[in-house]
Structure 1
Amino acid sequence: MASGSPSKYMSTSKEYPLHLHGWLRIHKDGRCERFIGNDIIPTGTDPITGVQSKDVIISHQSNLFVRLYIPKTIVDIPNRKFPTLMYYHGGGFLTESAASSTYHPTLNLITAESNVIAVSVNYRLAPEYHIPVAYEDSWEAIKWVATHVKGNGPESWLNAHADLQNVFFAGDSAGANIAHNMAIRVGLNQVKVVNLKGVIMIHPYFGGREFIGEESKHEQHKAFMNQMWLLANRLGIGLDDPLYNPVMDPCVSAFGCSKILLCVGGRDKLRGRALLYKELMETCGWKGFIELMESKGEGHVFFLSNTSCENARILRKKICNFINSISSKI
């Protein structure tokens, strides 16, 4: 993009080589200044849901941590074990955290309503830690959870309450991208790491070099999405990297479980990519079933900013039903 070229999404200047409006800007000295996802919500007992949370550092070398959530029902049924939900936050690989006000309230609600043990992964962000760091951190968290399968891992909450025969991955936007790629890695791994039962992909952040569907009507938005990817993955192979464009992944049929819940927003500009993903999974040779849920009239990750709206409640109910219908068959 030429300096000063008009776009409601991004711009460049001598002072700021890249400014993603409302998200971040890169200073000429290389420093990244973020405008969203910087606030930290403390852990504890949520007064609305009764869910308890705490942060656990799983790698002191990288300061990688997860935020754990346990439902109030543990008090009533102390010996029961609950399905384990690993959640990956969104933010384009560039912003947000597992501890921000964007995600903490929603994770409390999902934990309470679905009766799960939630493990929200605070992977490191680009551009300081460019891809593949986010994926490697996410995989490290999966392996850490797996150390609790015999009930003798380092974290007491997981030892006592996590049903690791029923593990689910979930995420929104970039987090859904991570969930997909982690499921591929589970499927390709020769040693069974976790017993993955299902993956919940909410408004996934996928893309590609070529225009598809209605993307040509939203050229500036597509350019913005692609620029985010290129900033996060500056050492990658570009816009048709299989991590970003799963159509280009020869290993996609290795997806490591047989159930996917794919959630899309009716007004989300990434909806077309999600529908293409559904078509891909149905035709690639993967031996599984992908279920589509559409929130009519809703934009990208609407459920995070308006947790009490009817469509957000319906979405969380669908997540609950998906998890518990699969878990109950064990």
Structure 2
Amino acid sequence: MAPSADNEVALEFRFFRVFKDGRVELLQEDDEKIPPSDNPATGVRSKDVIISKEPPISARIFLPKLKQGSKFPLLFYVHGGGFCMRSAFTERYHKFCSSVAAGADFIVVSIEYGLFPSRPLPACYEDSWAGLQWMASHVDGNGAEAWLNDHADFSKVFIAGNSAGGNICHTLAALLGSVGGLASGRVKVEGMVMVHPFFGGVDKDDMWLYMCPGNIGGSEDPRLKPAMEDLARLGCQKVLIFVGGEDYLKACGTNYYERLKESGWKGSVQLIDQPKVGHSFHIKDPSSEKAAELMENFVSFLKN
């Protein structure tokens, strides 16, 4: 018997399929979300905050163990998941951000952005930019969130993300280069970390283009294929890129590194190539020796 029209697949991509009636079905089960919690071993506390009700944007904030009169630098983190999965509120990303907060003595703001298909691209870029601006709005100590008002040092701010989050971070850095910083130029982003970032030129190009119906120029969209002019004016001073020897997206990070060096950008960029590791392995298996190595380099970049 032939399948009913409702169950006929029109398109199938790496992470989801689209049925002829317009329904979208994710092909991977998503991780369960967990509530914020405190870590008595490290002293890191966490809480969830609402940045915007419409569109719905939120974040999880991680505060390191307080010391007398202490102020902490800031990291704005963007999770991965192919623009259609994962969350800042899952156990894996909670543990990663909590570990960074403890190891680097940084406040971490982990953004919860809109995902396809409920909110097609460019929602993820717009939400992340809104979250970064919200974070910077606390620079005078009179924002909506007390932890940022009381404990954030806005003289040292970084952005970071893995996979799709690395891609989003590039767009944030390009925007920063265009507008000259945040909060009317009073907040400058010092550096960016990209772990196994996704860009065009791989088998997921068609998927990204489908998720972003308003793309600019198809595969030449600067969010998919970073433009040389955006790279040349990247709004930070230093960049660290991680690639994995067995990551199917390795060429994305390597190509970004080479193009950034060729662009005329005046900052410094470092590439760390870890052999025999796959895509976002550090999120899936944080206890591994290679994940500890990645964390050490990640934290060192933030602190130094």
TM-score normalised according to structure 1 size: 0.84
Tell me the SS of whatever aligns to 2:74.
strand
Matches within 5 A, 1:1-330: 14-20=7-13, 23-34=15-26, 35-46=28-39, 49-71=42-64, 73-74=65-66, 77-190=67-180, 191-192=184-185, 194-208=187-201, 222-223=202-203, 225-236=204-215, 237-246=217-226, 248-325=227-304
Q: Which moved more, 1:37-46 or 1:294-303?
A: 37-46
Q: How far apart, in 2, do the equivalents of 1:121 and 1:169 lie?
A: 11
Residue 48 of structure 1: how far off its partner (Å):
5.0
C-alpha deviation, 1:206, in angstroms: 0.7
Distance 1:181 1:238 in 2: 16
Distance 1:120 1:256 in 2: 20
Q: Distance in 2 between matches of 1:62 and 1:302?
A: 31
Q: C-alpha deviations, 1:299-318, integer Å up to 9, x for none?
A: 11100011011111111111
Unmatched 5+ stretches in structure 2 = 1-5
Contact 2:82 2:164 in 1 (8 A): yes
**Residues 321/231 of structure 1: CA separation in 2 closer, same or farther (3 Å cut):** same
Residues 245-286 of structure 1: CA deviation (Å, up to 9, x unaligned) = 11x343321101110011111111211121111111111110
Distance 1:51 1:33, change over 3 A: farther
1:204 aligned counterpart, secondary structure: coil
What SS class does the counterpart of residue 250 from structure 1 fall into? helix
Which has the larger displacement, 42-51 or 90-99?
42-51
Q: Distance in 2 between matches of 1:100 and 1:27?
A: 28
Q: Is the 1:186–1:193 contact (alpha carbons within 8 Å) kept by the matching residues of 2?
A: no
1:211 alignment counterpart: none
**Aligned-partner residue type, residue 301 of structure 1:** S
With structure 2 as the length reference, what TM-score do the two structures score? 0.91
CA deviations 1:9-64 (Å, max 9, x no partner) are: xxxx953333446x433344333333333511111213554321111001011121
Change (3 A) 1:15 1:78: farther
1:123-173 deviation line (CA, Å, top 9, x unaligned): 101233222211111110111011110111110011111111111000001
* CA RMSD after TM alignment: 1.8
1:215 equivalent in structure 2: none
Most deviating of 122-131 and 149-158: 122-131
- Report the count of equivalent residues: 294
| 1: CA distance, partners of 2:132 / 2:288 | 32
Identity %: 39
Q: Which deviations, in whole Å up to 9, do the C-alpha atoms of 1:189-233 show, x marking residues without a partner? A: 05426320100011110113xxxxxxxxxxxxx33x123212221
Distance 1:46 1:16 in 2: 45
Any idea what the Cα deviations from partners look like across 1:89-147, whole Å, max 9, x if unmatched?
A: 11111111111233111111111111110000111012332222111111101110111
Return the alpha-carbon distance in structure 2 between the equivalents of residues 195 and 59 of structure 1. 23
Contact in 2 for aligned 1:79/1:160 (Cα 8 Å): no
Query: Shift of the alpha carbon at 1:82?
Result: 0.9
Give the 3-state SS of the residue equivalent to 1:262 in structure 2.
strand
- The amino acid of 2:24's aligned partner reads C
Distance 1:56 1:226 in 2: 33
Amino acid in structure 1 at the alignment position of 2:45: Q
Structure 1 CA distance for aligned equivalents of residues 274 and 286 of structure 2 = 14
User: Which shows bigger deviation, 289-298 or 28-37?
Assistant: 28-37
Change (3 A) 1:306 1:176: same
